[in-house]
A and B are shown apart, each in its own frame.
Chain A
Amino acid sequence: ETGVTQSPTHLIKTRGQQVTLRCSSQSGHNTVSWYQQALGQGPQFIFQYYREEENGRGNFPPRFSGLQFPNYSSELNVNALELDDSALYLCASSPGQGASMGTTEAFFGQGTRLTVV
């Protein structure tokens, strides 16, 4: 089991509502990435935060936003929820950043299962 914790584990929201998901990264890790995993699919990259700044973004609309705090924990916010936002949301932390370093393994939390009805 990794040191990455996510909350809540499950969540049911109504279409049009807003949701905030939380992630505590592993000790010493300054990079946090968020992924969306629809049923039967692989995880899709949403965005990455490095030292409190957004460091990269996947193909997701602006209603997906995030924050990283000084202790490197992170939040994912989704506004105006749509039915297609129903998915497992995964947070991953890693100790480094930068293509010149190469990527080390990412440590994933157990995910938040979001259902939009």
Chain B
Amino acid sequence: DVRLTQSPSFLSASVGDRVTITCRASQGISNYLAWYQQRPGKAPSLLIYAASTLQTGVPSRFSGSGSGTEFTLTISSLQAEDVATYYCQQVHTYPLFSFGPGTRVDIK
């Protein structure tokens, strides 16, 4: 099974800051990685797929990169509405589409 880790588990930053979250896979998964945002009390929503492709409607301040075992999600200028928990997910090992443990993002 592919296991995912995320760092940090929690971060607090100011509005306008650049924020980076890292996701690491226990084995190479090419670019078969997705990122989700889950705002408090809401269902998750897809942000990025194929490691770096922005889902329709997602603001351009979000970006993803990486391949193989290391991936990053970047928010170029943090906004108040970005307060959420962010999860990475591998879609390489079908059908066991495992998620990372999540990174909670808050405003300082």
Question: Do A and B come from the same complex?
Answer: no
